[in-house]
């Protein structure tokens, strides 16, 4: 009996002490977190380091919230809370227990200030804390942050992590991070030499940065190795930079192609100098904006599909506007190029100002769907998703248009009318309607281009102006009346521009391209792919 | 037929002269204020807001009883982003509409094109935008920032707080970025930055393909020294620039970008999520937490009937300039140009960031300088500010051409470019 009581007593003691220790740890954490609220920006480094030192997993969400600017201090008692955005009030979450702490009006809370230095400290602290996380994504992020901000103290942790790591991609980053960290540590030279050799293999910019700064402080014996490694990385980068230029050129070319392809129909095939072409692109971009507004307000889960929804709508809207312009103005002006030019220029001003009056003069926000954001590395190339999709889209539009013109009866009629109007008319083709539909098609395609361009450019009433000159340039350079000419013209101008830009600068590069085109047109007035035959002379 | 035509003509003439007379009568009991901002064309994107802000300020003043017992009347003209048209419209405002002062212009070239008009007709212009300096005119009051009130403190901040050692100066190819970058380059070199650690890059207006430049910046930033970008990229080109930065993964923690032409208005067209931490230097942010600012934002949102309209730095400059003009006119007791020009110097009015701004004898004003970081909601958070007010320095001390020049429009000196080395009025810009 006595023995049992004794055991019970001991157990009770243990429980209590465990409880006390536990709550003291929680209290300490709470105090540390609350200190974040009171700290000056310059003291934040130490406070974050103190939090990270606890090694407590509860610190992770706190630091993440701090980095995201979701940590708030209550003005009344200085307590710090995690905050979830929701409506007018702030939803508070206790940072230590993770329990819901009710809602508070915004005015009662003050955001814990963060700046870039704080974000950097958070990033490296989180790197240390999540290096052994269960989640592969978190480990990868941790490894990358170790790679970006090498810290000699973390070297042992990285080595332990490499030994434990099973995932190949994380391991690869960790090995590189170890090499980078080794260079800033005080390990023996032969280990450093290995690290240098490893970095020389890669083409990473992080490696280059660390090697360059290591060069200044390294031992004399190491210097030749480092210099050789730098030279090697620079050589690899020079090789890739040529590839990068080609890629940028293709990407610029695809934008030019998109802008010009509608014009290749209205100007190239029909011969109308359509100065309002750029405004069709602009209307397409505004259609995207409207679609995204509706999607954001009513169906937020469909946001990633918003571009797919906007595409047909933009085609219909701008096609209809194009149809109205052709029926209302242009059809009275066939064969009078100067009047057409002035009339369509007037229309472009009217469209610009009406958009400005309706939507306001400021830029409108068109978001990138998640599949169009960010970039991935392909060898030494950085390829951004939005550019990749725009290239794919431009080529798809080109293929569809080519199919329409060459393989459908509508396309046959279009070509017939533009080649010999009177003959086509006597064969029973309603030439006025073919004209109208061709113009609407060209405008509609410009509208679809606007959907794509809204992803990389401003959505403002001036959007179209930036593209009209380039579009004419591409069509004239490629050869009027030839779709393939537009394709080749767009891509060759894009690549030429991007190869000139690194040497001549953006301003001079553009001037050089224009000069080259002028010289080219002197030599070959009909462009790259000139149409041959009697139709041209008519 | 001819009789009918001439009758109609006479009738029209009669109608016209009565309306002209009406206007003349109206002019007697109102004080006219000219607003010279582009409402169409490329600059409409920035300038339309300033027109609205001016209309609001005039409206508010009329509610308080006007000026000198008279109502204020706004005369709005549209120079349509066309620089020669600015001069024409300015002339129209001063000589036809007889306005007492003009608030307007955005780009430096538009300001330069109206200068001779204001000088010739002896009227007053308030210019609300940050600019490159190197100018001080008798008839112009510069309420925006001079380079030392924006660019130099921003560079100081990056050097002190981010220990930046390598600099990319990127700008649009026109006078403001070129002059500012010249000043900054001279300043950086005077601070011991090596010329090979400075990269200068210019792009055309409305540049939209930033791939090469952003990747150059990344490459420049991988030399083992902390790198920052100082951007004087103008309005429209910023959106594609920031989109490319975000997509290529240039984070503010690694390579911060500090911009002088990006404010709340420009960010309204962007998803700022990926841009958090990039910086801007201004004299005012909408997020500034003062009672005066809260009141201003409330009035602005009510006036525009739009809860999402943002405020920005040039709007504050107009707010300061307009209040200074009111005070000077009250002090002079008249709207006569010469009297107001004299009364303006030394006038001090509250600004929106919780202090007072004073008009200095060089026609520039004192302002605090704020450095803000972009937040996810499209606003800026102030991370640093100058301890006191900074006096606008019209002639930069870092350019060899202008370091000996000063400006003082008080009698007896009354000179915009006094050379302290030769002791004579005149020199660059005379």
Domains of chain B: 23-146+310-366 (3.40.50.2300)
> CA dist A10 to A24, A205, B87, Å?
21, 60, 94
Determine contact, residues B242/B209, Cβ cutoff 8 Å: no
Instruction: State the SS3 of B298-314.
Output: HHHHHHHCCCCCCCCHH
Cross-strand partners of A375: A384
Cross-strand partners of B378: none
Residue of A nearest to B227 (CA): A209
Q: Measured between CA atoms, how close is B358 to chain A, in angstroms?
A: 31
With tokens 């982003």, the residue in question is B81
Contacts of A456 in chain B (CB under 8 A): 208, 240, 243-244
A346 — contact with chain B (CB < 8 Å)? no
Cross-strand partners of B350: B356
Instruction: State the SS3 of A194-245.
Output: HHHHHHHHCCCHHHHHHHHHHHHHCCCCCHHHHHHHHHHHHHHHHHHHHHHH
A110 — contact with chain B (CB < 8 Å)? no
Q: How far apart, in whole angstroms, are the C-alpha atoms of residue A201 and residue A127?
A: 25
| Cβ pair B239:A457 closer than 8 A | yes
Determine contact, residues A117/A40, Cβ cutoff 8 Å: no
> CA dist A176 to A158, A206, A216, Å?
10, 9, 21
| Cβ pair A375:B265 closer than 8 A | no
Q: What is the pLDDT along chain B (430 residues), one digit of tens a residue?
A: 444 444 444 444 444 444 444 444 444 689 999 999 999 887 888 899 999 999 999 999 999 999 999 999 999 999 998 999 999 999 999 999 999 999 999 989 899 999 999 999 999 999 999 999 999 999 999 999 999 999 999 999 999 988 999 999 999 998 899 999 999 999 999 999 999 999 999 998 888 889 999 999 988 988 878 999 999 998 778 888 988 998 888 888 889 999 998 889 888 878 888 888 999 999 999 999 899 999 999 999 999 998 888 999 999 999 999 999 999 999 999 999 999 999 999 999 999 998 999 999 999 999 999 999 998 888 999 999 898 899 999 999 998 888 889 899 988 888 888 888 888 887 654 4
Helix (H) or strand (E) segment spanning residue B367 = strand B366-367
Contacts of B265 in chain A (CB under 8 A): 362
CA-wise closest residue to B343 among B395, B391, B389, B409: B409
Residue of B nearest to A123 (CA): B253
Tell me the pLDDT tens digit for each residue of A55-106. 777 888 888 888 888 888 888 888 888 887 666 677 888 887 878 877 888 7
Please give the DSSP secondary-structure letter assigned to residue A364.
B
- Determine if the peptide bond prior to A8 is cis (ω within 30°): no
Contacts of A113 in chain B (CB under 8 A): 381, 383
Contacts of A368 in chain B (CB under 8 A): 243, 271
Q: Hey, of B277, B280, B312, B380, which one would you mutate to test binding to chain A, going by the most A CBs within 10 A of its CB?
A: B277
| Predicted model pTM | 0.84
> CA dist B409 to A14, A359, B138, Å?
83, 44, 7
Tell me the pLDDT tens digit for each residue of A203-230. 566 677 777 777 777 777 778 888 888 8
| Cβ pair A362:B269 closer than 8 A | yes
Local structure of A370: helix, strand or coil: helix
Chain B, 362 to 391: residues with Cβ < 8 Å from chain A are 373, 375-376, 381, 383
| pLDDT for residue B76 | 96
Contacts of B271 in chain A (CB under 8 A): 365, 367-368
Helix (H) or strand (E) segment spanning residue B389 = none
| DSSP letter for each residue of B33-45 | EEEE--SSSTTHH
Q: How far apart, in whole angstroms, are the C-alpha atoms of residue A192 and residue A183?
A: 6
Contacts of A209 in chain B (CB under 8 A): 221-224
For residue A137, the Cα-to-chain-centroid distance in whole angstroms is: 21
| Cβ pair B243:A368 closer than 8 A | yes
Q: Is A102 left (phi over 0), alpha (psi -120 to 50) or beta?
A: left
Determine contact, residues A244/B248, Cβ cutoff 8 Å: no
Tokens coding B42: 């490329």
Contacts of A374 in chain B (CB under 8 A): 247, 249
Determine contact, residues A318/A447, Cβ cutoff 8 Å: yes
| Cβ pair A506:B48 closer than 8 A | no
| Cβ pair A375:B201 closer than 8 A | no
B161 — contact with chain A (CB < 8 Å)? yes
| pLDDT for residue B3 | 47
How, if at all, do strands B279-282 and B348-350 pair? unpaired
Q: How far apart, in whole angstroms, are the C-alpha atoms of residue A6 and residue A24?
A: 27
| pLDDT for residue B195 | 93
Chain A, 203 to 222: residues with Cβ < 8 Å from chain B are 205-206, 208-214
Candidates A209, A382, A459; nearest CB to B223: A209
Residue of B nearest to A367 (CA): B271
Q: How far apart, in whole angstroms, are the C-alpha atoms of residue B218 and residue B134?
A: 33
Chain B, 16 to 45: residues with Cβ < 8 Å from chain A are 39-40, 42, 44-45
B201 — contact with chain A (CB < 8 Å)? yes
CA-wise closest residue to A270 among A324, A339, A326: A326
Please give the DSSP secondary-structure letter assigned to residue A335.
T
| Cβ pair A456:B243 closer than 8 A | yes
| Cβ pair A507:B42 closer than 8 A | no
A460 — contact with chain B (CB < 8 Å)? yes
With tokens 């302002």, the residue in question is B367
Contacts of B254 in chain A (CB under 8 A): 148
Q: What is the pLDDT along chain A (538 residues), one digit of tens a residue?
A: 566 666 666 555 555 554 544 455 556 777 888 888 777 777 888 888 888 878 777 888 888 888 888 888 888 888 888 887 666 677 888 887 878 877 888 778 888 888 888 888 888 888 777 777 778 888 888 888 887 777 777 788 888 888 888 888 888 888 888 888 887 777 887 888 888 887 777 656 667 777 777 777 777 777 888 888 888 888 888 888 888 899 999 999 999 999 999 998 888 778 888 999 999 999 999 999 999 999 999 988 889 999 999 999 999 999 999 999 999 999 999 888 899 999 999 999 999 999 999 998 888 888 888 888 888 888 778 889 999 999 999 999 999 999 999 999 999 998 888 878 888 899 999 989 999 999 999 999 999 999 999 998 889 898 888 889 889 999 989 888 788 999 999 999 999 999 998 888 888 998 999 999 999 989 988 888 876 655 544 4
| Cβ pair B40:A353 closer than 8 A | yes
Q: Measured between CA atoms, how close is B222 to chain A, in angstroms?
A: 5
| Cβ pair A210:B383 closer than 8 A | no
Q: Where are the alpha helices (DSSP H) in B122-235?
A: 151-161, 175-190, 211-220
Q: How far apart, in whole angstroms, are the C-alpha atoms of residue A379 and residue A393?
A: 24
Determine contact, residues A70/A111, Cβ cutoff 8 Å: no
Helix (H) or strand (E) segment spanning residue A504 = helix A483-523
B48 — contact with chain A (CB < 8 Å)? yes
Tell me the pLDDT tens digit for each residue of A437-450. 999 999 999 999 99
| Cβ pair A498:B248 closer than 8 A | no
> CA dist A154 to A28, A129, A161, A178, A198, Å?
24, 11, 11, 9, 19
Q: Measured between CA atoms, how close is B380 to chain A, in angstroms?
A: 11
Determine contact, residues B121/B91, Cβ cutoff 8 Å: yes
Query: Is the CA virtual torsion A514, A516, A520, A523 positive or negative?
Result: positive
Contacts of A116 in chain B (CB under 8 A): 162, 252-253, 256, 277, 373
Determine contact, residues A147/A115, Cβ cutoff 8 Å: no
* ipTM, 2 dp: 0.81
Query: Is the CA virtual torsion B279, B283, B289, B295 positive or negative?
Result: negative
Q: Measured between CA atoms, how close is B379 to chain A, in angstroms?
A: 13
| Cβ pair A457:B49 closer than 8 A | no
CA-wise closest residue to B269 among A390, A366, A111: A366
Number of cross-chain residue pairs from A and B with Cβ atoms under 8 Å apart = 156
Contacts of B170 in chain A (CB under 8 A): none
Q: Measured between CA atoms, how close is B155 to chain A, in angstroms?
A: 15
Cross-strand partners of B70: B67
Q: How many residues in total does chain A contain?
A: 538
Cβ neighbour number for residue A3 with a 10 Å cutoff: 7
Phi, psi of B291 (to 5 degrees): -60, -40
CA-wise closest residue to A471 among A253, A149, A271, A293: A253
Chain B, 258 to 317: residues with Cβ < 8 Å from chain A are 265-266, 268-271, 274, 276-277
Local structure of A69: helix, strand or coil: coil
Tokens coding A42: 């310059």
With tokens 């098609």, the residue in question is A441
Rg (CA), chain A: 32
Q: Is B366 left (phi over 0), alpha (psi -120 to 50) or beta?
A: beta
CA-wise closest residue to B296 among B319, B314, B317, B326: B319
Q: How far apart, in whole angstroms, are the C-alpha atoms of residue B227 and residue A268?
A: 47
Q: How far apart, in whole angstroms, are the C-alpha atoms of residue B333 and residue B348?
A: 17
B209 — contact with chain A (CB < 8 Å)? yes
Chain B, 235 to 264: residues with Cβ < 8 Å from chain A are 236, 239-240, 243-244, 246-249, 252-254, 256
Contacts of A501 in chain B (CB under 8 A): 212-213
Q: How far apart, in whole angstroms, are the C-alpha atoms of residue B395 and residue B401?
A: 9
| pLDDT for residue A86 | 60
Q: Hey, of A206, A462, A501, A509, which one would you mutate to test binding to chain B, going by the most B CBs within 10 A of its CB?
A: A462
A370 — contact with chain B (CB < 8 Å)? no
With tokens 């000179």, the residue in question is B415
| pLDDT for residue A317 | 96
B204 — contact with chain A (CB < 8 Å)? yes
Chain B, 164 to 183: residues with Cβ < 8 Å from chain A are 173
Chain B, 215 to 234: residues with Cβ < 8 Å from chain A are 215-216, 218-219, 221-225
Local structure of A86: helix, strand or coil: coil
Tokens coding A457: 């450019």
């Amino acid at each position: 009996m006595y023995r049992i009581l004794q055991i019970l007593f001991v157990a009770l003691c243990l429980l209590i002490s465990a409880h006390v220790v536990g709550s003291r740890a929680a209290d300490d954490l709470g105090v540390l977190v609350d200190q974040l609220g009171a700290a000056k920006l310059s003291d934040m480094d130490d406070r974050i380091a103190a939090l990270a030192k606890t090694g407590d997993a509860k610190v992770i969400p706190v630091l993440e919230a701090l980095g995201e600017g979701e940590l708030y201090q209550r003005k009344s008692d200085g307590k710090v809370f995690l905050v979830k955005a929701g409506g007018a009030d702030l939803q508070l979450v206790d940072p230590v227990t993770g329990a819901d702490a009710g809602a508070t009006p915004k005015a009662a809370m003050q955001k814990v200030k963060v700046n870039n230095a704080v974000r950097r400290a958070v990033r490296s602290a989180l790197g240390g804390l999540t290096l052994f996380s269960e989640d592969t994504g978190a480990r990868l992020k941790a490894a990358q942050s170790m790679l970006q901000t090498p810290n000699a103290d973390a070297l042992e942790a990285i080595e332990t992590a490499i030994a434990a790591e099973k995932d190949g991609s994380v391991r690869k980053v960790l090995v590189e991070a170890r090499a980078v960290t080794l260079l800033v540590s005080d390990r023996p030279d032969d280990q450093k030499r290995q690290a240098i050799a490893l970095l020389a293999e890669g083409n990473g910019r992080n490696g280059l940065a660390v090697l360059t700064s290591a060069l200044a402080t390294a031992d004399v014996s190491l210097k030749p190795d480092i210099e050789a490694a730098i030279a090697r990385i620079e050589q690899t980068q020079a090789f890739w930079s040529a590839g990068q230029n080609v890629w940028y050129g293709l990407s610029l070319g695809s934008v030019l192609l998109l802008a010009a392809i509608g014009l290749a129909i209205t100007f190239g095939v029909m011969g109308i100098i359509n100065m309002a072409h750029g405004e069709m692109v602009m209307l397409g971009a505004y259609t995207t904006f409207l679609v995204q507004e509706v999607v954001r307000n009513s169906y937020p889960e469909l946001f990633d599909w918003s571009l797919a929804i906007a595409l047909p709508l933009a085609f219909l809207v701008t096609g209809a506007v194009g149809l109205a312009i052709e029926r209302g103005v242009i059809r009275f002006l066939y064969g009078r190029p100067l009047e057409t030019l002035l009339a369509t220029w007037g229309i472009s001003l009217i469209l610009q100002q009406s958009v400005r009056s309706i939507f306001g003069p400021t830029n409108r926000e068109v978001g990138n769907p998640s599949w169009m954001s960010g970039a991935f590395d392909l060898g030494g190339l950085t390829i951004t998703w939005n550019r990749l999709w725009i290239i794919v889209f431009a080529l798809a539009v080109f293929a569809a248009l080519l199919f329409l013109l060459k393989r459908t009866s509508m396309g046959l009629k279009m070509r017939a009318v533009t080649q010999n109007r009177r003959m086509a008319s006597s064969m029973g083709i309603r030439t006025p309607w073919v004209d109208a539909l061709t113009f609407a098609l060209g405008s509609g395609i410009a509208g679809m281009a606007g959907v794509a361009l809204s992803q990389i450019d401003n959505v403002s009433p001036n959007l179209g102006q930036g593209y009209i000159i380039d579009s004419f340039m591409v069509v004239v350079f490629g050869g009027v009346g030839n779709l393939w000419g537009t394709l080749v013209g767009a891509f060759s101008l894009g690549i030429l521009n991007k190869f000139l830009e690194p040497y001549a600068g953006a301003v001079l590069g553009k001037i050089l391209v224009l000069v080259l085109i002028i010289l080219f047109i002197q030599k070959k007035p009909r462009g790259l792919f000139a149409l041959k035959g009697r139709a041209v002379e008519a | 037929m001819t009789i009918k035509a001439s009758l109609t003509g006479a009738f029209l003439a009669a109608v016209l002269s009565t309306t002209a007379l009406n206007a003349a009568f109206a002019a007697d009991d109102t004080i006219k204020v000219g607003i010279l901002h582009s409402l169409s064309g490329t600059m409409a994107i920035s300038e339309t807001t300033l027109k609205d802000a001016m209309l609001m300020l005039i409206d508010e003043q009329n509610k308080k009883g006007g000026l000198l017992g008279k109502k204020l009347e706004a005369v709005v003209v549209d120079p349509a982003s066309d620089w020669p048209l600015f001069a024409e419209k300015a002339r129209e405002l001063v000589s036809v509409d007889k306005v007492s002062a003009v608030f307007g212009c955005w780009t430096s070239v538009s300001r330069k094109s109206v200068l001779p008009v204001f000088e010739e007709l002896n009227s007053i212009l308030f210019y609300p935008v940050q600019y490159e300096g190197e100018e001080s005119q008798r008839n112009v009051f510069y309420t925006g920032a001079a380079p030392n009130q924006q660019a130099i403190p921003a560079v100081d901040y990056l050097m002190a707080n981010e220990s930046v050692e390598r600099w990319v100066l990127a700008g649009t190819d026109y006078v403001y970025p070129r002059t500012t970058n010249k000043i900054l380059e001279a300043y950086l070199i005077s601070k011991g930055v090596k010329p090979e650690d400075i990269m200068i890059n210019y792009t055309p207006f409305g540049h939209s393909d930033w791939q090469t430049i952003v990747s150059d910046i990344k490459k420049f930033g991988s030399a083992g020294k902390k790198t920052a970008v100082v951007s004087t990229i103008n309005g429209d080109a910023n959106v594609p620039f920031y989109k490319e930065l975000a997509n290529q993964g240039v984070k503010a923690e690694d390579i911060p970008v500090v911009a002088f032409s990006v404010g709340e208005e420009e960010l309204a067209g962007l998803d700022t999520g990926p841009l958090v931490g990039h910086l801007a230097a201004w004299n005012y942010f909408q997020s500034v937490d003062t009672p005066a600012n809260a009141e201003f934002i409330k009035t602005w949102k009510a006036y525009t009937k739009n809860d999402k309209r943002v405020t920005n730095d040039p709007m504050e400059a107009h707010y300061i300039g307009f209040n200074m003009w009111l005070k000077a006119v009250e002090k002079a007791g008249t709207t006569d140009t010469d009297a107001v020009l004299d009364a303006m110097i030394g006038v001090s009015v509250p600004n929106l960031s919780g202090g007072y701004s004073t008009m200095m004898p060089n026609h520039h004003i004192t302002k605090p300088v704020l450095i803000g970081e972009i937040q996810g909601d499209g606003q800026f958070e102030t991370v640093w500010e100058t301890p006191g007010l900074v006096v606008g320095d019209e002639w930069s001390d870092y350019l060899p051409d202008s370091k000996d020049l000063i400006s003082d429009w008080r009698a007896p000196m009354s000179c915009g470019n006094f050379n302290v080395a030769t002791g004579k009025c005149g020199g660059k810009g005379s």
